[in-house]
């Protein structure tokens, strides 16, 4: 599932490519991805609007329109926003899975493609968007999230620290890949209760979260299977993963074989039993 680095990459690309573009038409090929509006409403509210900006909040991509509405995309496992400049930009395979299309004034087309159709696209007013975003926790890359504030939020939970890192109400944008990576980088056992993390460990963990997220953003995210950016390109962070996807491989610190477990919330957790405490 695209996490913060992947959705940040897509949002940055869309902003650079589409800000100022006018939507001249919209089509719905597979309406089951829509939330908050019917296919008819989607096709009638978009034409004539101008894309003001694209940005990210948590794992959401938000395309803000001059009408006051925003397209809010949650890609989940196989969703992608693809900009078509020429017919060659979209593969025949991807065309089979296009769910929504928005034609722009200059002939380009913005598509939402979703192979498994588990992602969603909503069209929200400003007030509805504010309500939807209200439950989300702070952004991990926001310097307003201090080590003290982060440590305080951990002390309120007895759940496994990895699970708490993935709780979007505690901190927004982290999913399974980067929770694994951050725990490995910080040398913290992902199964430890969050309220057992000391203030010093919390500061180290926050630094690790920020470090891995920034490193992945610089390489345009992590692509295992279906994640692609708005140009159809793949992320380059896989070779730099230290934990996720490396069960049985030697730990990069101590060479102990990494453990692959599903004991925490049924999700894949990879860690070093020797040097993560």
- Domains assigned to the chain: 4-131 (3.20.190.10), 147-271 (1.10.8.50)
pLDDT tens, 36-58?
999 999 999 999 999 999 999 99
Q: Partners of 23 in the beta sheet?
A: 104
Q: Which residues contact 130 (CB under 8 A, 6 or more apart)?
A: none
pLDDT of residue 226: 85
Active-site residue (options: 3, 8, 84, 181): 3
How far is the C-alpha of 271 from the C-alpha of 258, rounded, in Å?
5
The answer on pLDDT for 264 being more than 90 is yes
Active-site residue (options: 22, 117, 267, 274): 267
Decide: helix, strand or coil at residue 2: coil
Torsion 166-76-214-246 (CA) sign: positive
pLDDT of residue 88: 87
Q: Annotated catalytic, 138?
A: no
Active-site residue (options: 2, 5, 75, 190): 2
pLDDT tens, 3-37?
999 999 999 999 999 999 999 999 999 999 999 99
SS3 content of the chain, % helix, strand, coil (to 5): 30, 20, 45
Active-site residue (options: 6, 8, 57, 59): 59
Percentage of residues in the chain with pLDDT exceeding 70?
A: 100
pLDDT tens, 165-216?
999 999 999 999 999 999 999 999 999 999 999 999 999 999 999 999 999 9
First and final CA of the chain: distance in angstroms? Answer: 27
pLDDT of residue 55: 98
DSSP alpha helix (H) spans, 19-145 = 39-45, 92-95, 126-133
Q: Annotated catalytic, 267?
A: yes
């Amino acid at each position: 599932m695209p996490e913060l680095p992947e959705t940040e990459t897509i949002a940055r690309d869309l902003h650079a490519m589409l800000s100022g573009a006018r939507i001249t038409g919209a089509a719905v090929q597979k309406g089951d991805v829509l939330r908050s509006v019917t296919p008819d409403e989607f096709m009638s509210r978009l034409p004539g609007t101008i894309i003001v900006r694209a940005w990210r909040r948590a794992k959401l991509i938000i395309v803000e329109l001059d009408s006051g509405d925003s397209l809010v995309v949650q890609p989940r496992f196989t969703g992608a926003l693809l900009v078509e400049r020429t017919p060659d930009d979209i593969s025949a395979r991807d065309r089979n899975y296009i769910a929504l299309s928005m034609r722009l004034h200059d002939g380009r087309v913005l598509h939402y493609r979703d192979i498994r159709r588990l992602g969603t696209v909503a069209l929200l007013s400003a007030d509805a968007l504010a309500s939807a975003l209200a439950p989300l926790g702070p952004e991990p890359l926001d310097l307003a999230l201090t080590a003290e504030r982060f440590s305080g939020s951990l002390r309120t939970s007895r759940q496994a620290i990895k699970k708490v890192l993935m709780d979007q109400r505690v901190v927004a944008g982290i999913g399974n890949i980067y929770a694994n990576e951050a725990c490995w980088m910080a040398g913290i056992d992902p199964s430890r209760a969050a309220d057992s993390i000391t203030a010093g460990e919390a500061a180290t963990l926050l630094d690790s979260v920020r470090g891995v997220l920034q490193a992945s953003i610089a390489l345009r995210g992590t692509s295992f299977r279906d994640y692609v950016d708005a140009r159809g390109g793949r992320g380059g962070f896989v070779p730099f993963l230290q934990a996720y996807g490396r069960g049985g491989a030697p730990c990069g610190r101590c060479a102990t074989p990494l453990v692959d477990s599903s004991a925490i919330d049924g999700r894949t957790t990879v860690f070093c039993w020797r040097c993560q405490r």
